């Protein structure tokens, strides 16, 4: 009774590894296919369409994308927008999260509720007014407009995330510093700031990833080739040259690189990031 | 060195008063312990002295200067926190020297002060370690070192020993006592542990429910508690308090014989008597004031605790020095040492006699 | 305002009040102002403007046809078959996506809660889809469904699911499954991570106690794991429902709402109306309708939460 039979156990064992392989294949196969088409030479594209790996490999698609298209410029634009958004958002969110974590103040509940609500409602609702406002101040087709819009969109989430990092630092450390002779701001700078560096890094990573992926607002606000971000550029490319499969996928693989980089960077904080704002309040 | 004075200090959170009319005069070099059950406001009071909580009313003076609105950094007071609050990203030496670093003290001066403090506390070999690489006791020492290095006007301790195990707690208690002897600085110490209070304090302040119950030396509190709360809070095991029936002159406890307490003030009506466990005599069943059945007997080696069931009263705790040959279930006689009895009126206030 | 003052000239109460005022009303707002300004200017203000748009005719393609038109947009919306179709699609899109994401996510979380060799690497790899930018997920999956370069149509035909290898994204009956599959792929990590965190918060003593009391693994799952996870599951699923219902990126990139609006959901309908037709008045009317629906859902949620918490 107490001991499961050898067969039951090995059956469970096999079942577990079968399940693990299923998840692994499901997660990686699409990315693998992206890479596979990207390294398949044009002439083999159709004849070996469903083979798991082409009989010949090439990096020609990558070199065309990098050397002969505007993707490098798109990549640069996306980098500017994402890094700019990430930096500005993190600074502002750190201040907000600090206030949420350390102060009890008039209107706190209302402000927290307001931020939670902005998390719940679809931002697409305001795409038309935002277009008109941006147009009226003459910022259409500018990266600045994207940075401003993305920063505002990401502040609520990033603030809750930063708050969770500040909450993890005991208040007594600040109090000890204040007794030791610091002003509140000096305590923030000398004690809290160094301790929250990992949190700042994680927030930076989350916001970067979000900004790097954003498509619809960029599509609406950017129509000039010079200021297109990577998603917009890729989508335009797809609708214009829908047969250059290899190049599109090579561009896709390139777009994946920064995301993967930041993903590995923020992996440790995923739980905190995904639950910030969702479970609080 | 400083003389601290609190005049009618009040703390409110919204409309809730957590501390009422606190008057306290702490002399230069005195060791004062604030003691009371959790939630009595003792930590809040300490934090108000440190400047970490705003004072809602009354005045707080250091050496005659009003400090209510002076931020903590300008009060020149050091504090040891319950959690130690060591800066996790700084090594031991930098933790200890942080206050001097903030004040831009000369490096030479700082280094020599840190070295001196580290030597005093036996931390010399650990100065390059980060707090996470220290044991609980070592962290506690660093927290104290951080206070010593500053040479402040007063030291505040907020339950500094409660995170240590029992043996270490005794050791550190001695260290703090020695520290006070050597520095003879003004120290205010918050604890809920009456043993710490009794062993360390020059004067103890007993707080309950936001009010000061009594201020006095350890012996004072033990021998002349001002009210029932202090009587039961100070002393271990806890004082027995039993109801009495009194006609103004003679008193009766349970079914025992009537007796009188001489020198009671005129017209005082005693409703309860307090007898400490150590103030009973255990005698033969027929020779005592009361007959009792020993319910549970604990032999502690140095002492014997007898939980005695007295008819008409209930369980009384009796403690005798040494090993008393009483078995549980045995009937014994008890006699109260009348000179050590405490009498309380209907409000729980002690009656002096 | 707070500084060394030992003169005692100012009455204490006023000082105490001023320092209270500073700490309670002023200092926090020094930290909050940038966030509040941005949220107000970029989200709240446009929201109000957007509501006013819904009562106007604003079509960028017909610039002279502009002005207040009262409830006309809403009347059009009421009789707009595409809008009602989009509502229906939103329901199926959300329901199917979240069911699969949740079930598969729970399975993955339970696997990750056991021990096996190479777990850290495995975890990194299976969570990778979460990090893939959505536009790229959408493109990748639409390529996988493409019979020219993707293997899926051929495999499905081989399994007999499709009569011949064709692109399901072009079939009005099946097209919605395309974005749904992409969404499941993209969303499993979210549920797996949050559920894993919750699983790990269940004290292992509980399972040991249950095992000693004679519970089978299945019984421990239904009697301990699920009740423990229930509140967390409820909150996560409810919030995620809102998020997915409004998640238009995958649909817009993969099908653009087509063929014949068979994959249009409400939020993608807002976007295509604003972006392709440049009809801002009508787009805003759809947005306001969506806002009202979401508020009703939120009220329902709060009511549900109250009920659940009481029990």
Task: Write down the ipTM of this complex.
Answer: 0.85
If you average pLDDT over residues C273-293, what whole number do you get? 88
Using the predicted structure, report yes or no on whether residue A191 has a pLDDT greater than 60.
yes
**Most A CBs within 10 Å, among B43, B73, B86, to test the A interface:** B73
If you average pLDDT over residues C206-217, what whole number do you get? 85
How large a percentage of chain A has pLDDT more than 90?
34
Least confident of B192-196, B210-214, C73-77: C73-77
Show the tokens assigned to C114. Answer: 């056991």
Using the predicted structure, report yes or no on whether residue A1 has a pLDDT greater than 50.
no
Architecture of the CATH domain B4-232: 3-Layer(aba) Sandwich (3.40)
pLDDT at res. C9: 37
Using the predicted structure, report yes or no on whether residue C2 has a pLDDT greater than 50.
no
Count of CB pairs separated by less than 8 Å, B with C: 32
**What is the domain partition of chain B in residue ranges?**
4-232, 238-351
Q: pLDDT-derived band of residue B115, with 50, 70 and 90 as boundaries?
A: very high
Using the predicted structure, report yes or no on whether residue B197 has a pLDDT greater than 70.
yes
Please name the member of B47, B87, B103 whose beta carbon is closest to the beta carbon of A181. B103
pLDDT at res. A4: 60
**Most A CBs within 10 Å, among C131, C183, C271, to test the A interface:** C131
Residue A275 to residue A264: CA distance in whole angstroms = 18
CA distances C110 to B215, C115, C117, C227, Å, are 60, 10, 15, 15
Q: Burial, C61: exposed, middle or buried (Cβ in 10 Å; 0-12, 13-18, 19+)?
A: exposed
Residue of higher predicted confidence among C170 and C183: C183
CA distances C179 to A65, C100, C250, C264, C287, Å, are 27, 13, 6, 11, 22
pLDDT at res. B146: 92
Q: pLDDT-derived band of residue C15, with 50, 70 and 90 as boundaries?
A: low
If you average pLDDT over residues B140-159, what whole number do you get? 92
Using the predicted structure, report yes or no on whether residue A158 has a pLDDT greater than 50.
yes
Architecture of the CATH domain B238-351: Beta Barrel (2.40)
> Does the beta-carbon distance from A179 to B146 stay under 8 Å?
no
Please name the member of A27, A120, A124 whose beta carbon is closest to the beta carbon of C129. A27
Q: pLDDT-derived band of residue C6, with 50, 70 and 90 as boundaries?
A: very low
**In CATH, A71-275 is 3.40.309.10:** no
**What is the domain partition of chain A in residue ranges?**
24-58, 71-275
- Residues B254-313: pLDDT tens digits? 777 787 887 777 777 888 999 999 999 998 888 888 889 999 999 988 999 999 998 888
**What is the domain partition of chain C in residue ranges?**
12-53, 72-310
> Does the beta-carbon distance from A176 to B71 stay under 8 Å?
no
Show the tokens assigned to B11. Answer: 């703390």
Using the predicted structure, report yes or no on whether residue B324 has a pLDDT greater than 60.
yes
Residue of higher predicted confidence among C13 and B250: B250
**C contacts of B67 (beta carbons < 8 Å):** 6
pLDDT at res. C223: 85
**In CATH, C72-310 is 1.10.3720.10:** yes
Using the predicted structure, report yes or no on whether residue A2 has a pLDDT greater than 60.
no
Three-state helix/strand/coil letters over chain B: CCCEEEEEEEEEECCEEEEEEEEEEECCCCEEEEECCCCCCHHHHHHHHHCCCCCCEEEEEECCEECCCCCHHHCCEEEECCCCCCCCCCCHHHHHHHHHHHCCCCHHHHHHHHHHHHHHCCCHHHCCCCHHHCCHHHHHHHHHHHHHHHCCCEEEEECCCCCCCHHHHHHHHHHHHHHHHHHCCEEEEEECCHHHHHHHCCEEEEEECCEEEEEECHHHHHHCCCEHHHHHHCCCCCCEEEECEECCCCEECCCCCCECCCCCCCCCCCCEEEECHHHEEEECCCCCCEEEEEEEEEECCCEEEEEEEECCCEEEEEEEECCCCCCCCCEEEEEECHHHCEEECCCCEEECC
Q: Which chains are within 8 Å of C by 3+ CB pairs?
A: A, B
If you average pLDDT over residues A136-148, what whole number do you get? 91
């Amino acid at each position: 009774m107490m001991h499961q039979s050898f067969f039951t156990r090995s059956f469970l064992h096999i079942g577990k590894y079968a399940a693990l392989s299923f998840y692994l294949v499901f997660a990686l196969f699409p990315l693998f296919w992206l890479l596979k088409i990207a390294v398949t030479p044009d002439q083999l594209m159709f004849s070996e369409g469903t083979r798991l790996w082409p009989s010949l490999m090439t990096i020609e698609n990558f070199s065309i994308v990098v050397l002969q298209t505007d993707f490098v410029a798109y990549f640069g634009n996306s980098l500017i927008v994402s890094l700019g958004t990430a930096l500005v958002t993190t600074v502002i969110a750190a201040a907000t999260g600090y206030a949420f974590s350390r102060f009890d103040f008039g209107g706190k509940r209302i402000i927290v509720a307001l931020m939670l609500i902005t998390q719940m409602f679809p931002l697409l609702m305001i795409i038309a007014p935002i277009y008109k406002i941006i147009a009226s101040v003459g910022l259409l087709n500018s990266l600045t407009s994207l940075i401003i819009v993305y920063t505002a969109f990401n502040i609520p989430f990033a603030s809750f995330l930063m708050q969770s990092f500040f909450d993890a630092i005991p208040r007594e450390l600040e109090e000890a510093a204040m007794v030791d002779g610091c002003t509140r701001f000096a305590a923030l700078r000398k004690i809290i700031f160094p301790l929250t560096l990992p949190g700042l890094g994680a927030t930076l990573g989350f916001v970067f990833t979000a900004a790097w992926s954003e498509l619809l607002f960029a599509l609406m606000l950017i129509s000039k080739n010079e200021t297109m971000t990577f998603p917009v550029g890729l989508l335009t490319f797809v609708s214009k040259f829908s047969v250059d499969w290899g190049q599109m996928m090579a561009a896709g693989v390139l777009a994946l690189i920064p995301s993967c980089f930041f993903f590995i960077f923020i992996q440790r904080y995923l739980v905190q990031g995904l639950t910030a704002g969702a479970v609080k309040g | 060195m400083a003389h601290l004075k609190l005049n009618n200090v009040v703390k409110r959170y919204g409309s809730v008063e957590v501390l009422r009319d606190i008057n306290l005069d702490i002399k230069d070099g005195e060791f004062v312990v604030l003691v009371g059950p959790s939630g009595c406001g003792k930590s809040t009071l300490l934090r108000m002295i440190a400047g970490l909580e705003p004072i809602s009313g009354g005045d707080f003076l250091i050496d005659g200067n009003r400090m209510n609105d002076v931020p903590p950094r300008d009060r020149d007071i050091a504090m040891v926190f319950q959690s130690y609050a060591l800066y996790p990203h700084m090594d031991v030496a930098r933790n200890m020297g942080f206050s001097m670093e903030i004040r831009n003290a000369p490096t030479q001066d700082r280094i020599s002060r840190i070295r001196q403090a580290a030597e005093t506390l036996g931390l010399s070999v650990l100065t390059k370690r980060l707090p996470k690489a220290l044991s609980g006791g070592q962290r506690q020492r660093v927290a104290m070192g951080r206070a010593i290095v500053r040479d402040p006007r007063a030291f505040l301790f907020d339950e500094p020993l409660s995170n240590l195990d029992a043996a270490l707690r005794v050791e550190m208690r001695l260290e703090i006592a020695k520290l006070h002897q050597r520095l003879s600085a003004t120290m205010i110490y918050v604890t809920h542990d009456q043993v710490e209070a009794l062993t360390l304090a020059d004067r103890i302040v007993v707080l309950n429910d936001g009010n000061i119950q009594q201020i006095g030396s350890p012996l004072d509190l033990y021998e002349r508690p001002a009210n029932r709360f202090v009587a039961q809070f100070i002393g271990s095991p806890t004082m027995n308090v039993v109801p009495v029936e009194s006609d103004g002159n003679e008193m009766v406890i349970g079914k025992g014989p009537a007796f009188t307490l001489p020198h009671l003030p005129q017209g005082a009506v005693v409703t309860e008597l307090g007898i400490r466990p150590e103030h009973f005599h255990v005698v033969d069943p027929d020779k005592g004031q009361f007959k009792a059945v020993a319910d549970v007997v604990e032999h502690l080696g140095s002492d014997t605790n007898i939980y005695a069931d007295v008819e008409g009263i209930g369980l009384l705790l009796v403690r005798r020095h040494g090993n008393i040959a009483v078995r549980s279930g045995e009937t014994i006689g008890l006699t109260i040492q009348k000179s050590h009895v405490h009498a309380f009126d209907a409000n729980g206030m002690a009656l002096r006699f | 305002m707070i500084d060394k003052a030992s003169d005692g000239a100012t009455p204490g109460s006023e000082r105490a009040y001023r320092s209270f005022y500073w700490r309670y009303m002023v200092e926090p707002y020094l930290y909050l102002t940038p966030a509040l300004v941005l949220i107000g200017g970029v989200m709240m203000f446009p929201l109000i403007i957007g509501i006013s748009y819904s009562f106007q005719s604003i079509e960028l393609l017909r610039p002279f046809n502009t002005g207040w038109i009262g409830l006309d947009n809403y009347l059009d919306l009421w009789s707009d078959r595409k809008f009602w179709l989009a509502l229906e699609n939103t329901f199926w899109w959300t329901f199917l996506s979240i069911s699969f994401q949740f079930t598969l996510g729970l399975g993955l979380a339970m696997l990750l809660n056991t021990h096996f060799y190479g777990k850290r690497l495995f975890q990194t790899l299976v969570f990778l889809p979460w990090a893939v930018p959505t536009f790229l997920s959408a493109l990748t999956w639409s390529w996988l469904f493409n019979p020219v370069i993707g293997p899926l149509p051929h495999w499905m035909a081989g399994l007999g699911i499709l009569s011949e290898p064709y692109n399901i994204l072009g079939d009005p009956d099946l097209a919605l499954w395309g974005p749904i599959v992409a969404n499941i792929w993209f969303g499993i990590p979210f549920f797996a991570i949050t559920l894993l965190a919750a699983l790990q918060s269940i004290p292992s003593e509980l399972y040991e106690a249950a095992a000693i009391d004679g519970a089978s693994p299945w019984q421990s799952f239904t009697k301990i794991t699920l009740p423990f996870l229930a509140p967390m599951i409820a909150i996560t699923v409810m919030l995620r429902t809102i998020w997915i219902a409004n998640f238009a990126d995958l649909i817009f990139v993969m099908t653009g709402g087509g063929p014949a609006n068979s994959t249009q959901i409400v939020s993608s309908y807002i976007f295509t109306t604003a972006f392709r037709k440049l009809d801002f008045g009508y787009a805003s009317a759809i947005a306001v309708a969506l806002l009202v629906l979401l508020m009703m859902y939120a009220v329902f949620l709060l009511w549900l939460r109250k009920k659940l918490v009481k029990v």
